[in-house]
Amino acid sequence: MIDFSAKKFGLISLGCDKNRVDSEKLLAMIKSRGGKIVSRAEEADILIVNTCAFLNKSRKEAIETVIKYANLKDGGLEKLVVSGCLPQKYVGELYPELTEADVFLGTGDYDKLFDALQTSYEGERVNFVGTGDNLYVSDRVITTPCHFAYLKIAEGCDNFCTYCLIPKIRGKYVSFPVEKLLAEASSLGDVSELILVAQDVSRYGIDLYGKNFLVNFLEKLTTLVNINSVRLLYCYPDMIDDALIAEIRDNPKIIKYLDIPLQHSEDRVLKLMNRRGSREGYLNLIRKLREEIPQIAIRSTFISGFPTETEEECDALCDFLKEAKLTNCGFFAYSREPDTPAYKLKGQIAYKDKLRRVKKLYAVQREISREFLQSFVGKKIKVLCDGIDYGKKRFYGRAYFSAPEIDGLVYFKASNAVQGQYYDVIIDKYGDYDLFGHTEDYNER
């Protein structure tokens, strides 16, 4: 038997924040077996690449990463493990072709890591996809800065958007039990900002409790003394009801921020996408949110160049952005993914036209964002310090209207600032996406 406590493990996590949580739990499993975790791939005896397969470019990045680090086998690397979404969906194609990898694990097979490695050390390349018990694990090795963390509250998706592979990779929507999530959140230590994630956070509990249980869960979660604030990502518009709006409005621990993936504004395109929404419905929801929670920050994502989308519909989406005036937006060119219904649609848009439309949308949103940021000049806002940018010679952090890694930053000058602490920052100027300022007690010399 291999003594894994004598092995050094490295892990490269690709893709989304949900995948990051999976990676953190995998690291905890390794640690529980006595394995040493190293931060540099070059130091590892066993290297794990936890992959994403959502888009073609994600799959390409994953395969290129595996091939790149396979070169370390000429040095001290003994085993290369490929885990997560890519083998879960494509192991039949990967296993015979990606011979650089020794072990393949799917999204529910992390508990089989050591069994698979043992078999591999006995001389075989192994495919353990689909052999795991898909166990819920609460222990984690946090890889984010110590003051914020993600909490994945559900797995899979039942929305079946016609462009999306997630249900075929991650399966049906499965909510994790409240008591297990509360125990996991309690184990994270003092957290300035806990960010709830799932493919669809707003559908939490329906499968498990027979009703939407998100508000009930938020009420319990925000009683934990180690959790300072909670941010909600990925709330689908059709599930944002009066009870959730009231909870966000009235609960002081819930950040007044919602990420609502709208994906388009035009009814015909939304229907083709199998999205439950309409232009009028979206605008009414945005108005209602702002009436109930005047300071609410709303983020969204949109797909441009969906099959048969016309120039007029792209222009209509631009007009929608101007009317909605969302705080932050991300825009993506439609990616034609095999094994999705949209793949077979006629009227596929040329890649150059998709990119041109994305640029048009970003240009519209840039002006909206600048107008929003300009409104803070001369004002004092509360900023959570994320660190220091030595190149800019400033500390940086985020106001309530910015989530980590996807939204803009506040760069500020201060005599001193501590990561994870809040500071009142007076805003001096603004850019396309970022703000710049100083703390009240800062004296520039």
The single-letter DSSP state of residue 126 is E
Domains of the chain (ranges; CATH) run 4-127 (3.40.50.12160), 148-374 (3.80.30.20), 380-439 (2.40.50.140)
Q: How far is CA 360 from CA 84, 222, 240, in A?
A: 35, 40, 29
Residue in 211, 264, 275, 215 with CA at minimum distance from that of residue 240: 215
The CA distance from 324 to 264, in Å, is 12
Count of helices and strands (H, E) across the chain: 13, 19
Q: Contact 283/260 with Cβ under 8 angstroms? A: no
The CA distance from 28 to 32, in Å, is 6
Let me know if 318 is exposed, middle or buried by CB neighbors in 10 A (0-12, 13-18, 19+): middle
Q: CB under 8 Å to 224, separation ≥6 — which residues?
A: 182, 185, 186
Greatest CA separation found in the chain? 66
Please tell me the pTM assigned to this model.
Answer: 0.95
| Cα 60 versus chain centre, distance | 19
The tokens for 59 are: 């799959």
Q: What is the pLDDT along the chain (445 residues), one digit of tens a residue?
A: 899 999 999 999 999 999 999 999 999 999 999 999 999 999 999 999 999 999 999 999 999 999 999 999 988 899 999 999 999 999 999 999 999 999 999 999 999 999 999 999 998 899 999 999 888 889 999 999 999 999 999 999 999 999 999 999 999 999 999 999 999 999 999 999 999 999 999 999 999 999 999 999 999 999 999 999 999 999 999 999 999 999 999 999 999 999 999 999 999 999 999 999 999 999 999 999 999 999 999 999 999 999 999 999 999 999 999 999 999 999 999 999 999 999 999 999 999 999 999 999 999 999 999 999 999 999 999 999 999 999 999 999 999 999 999 999 999 999 999 999 999 999 999 999 999 999 988 876 5
The tokens for 185 are: 């959140």
The CA distance from 68 to 66, in Å, is 5
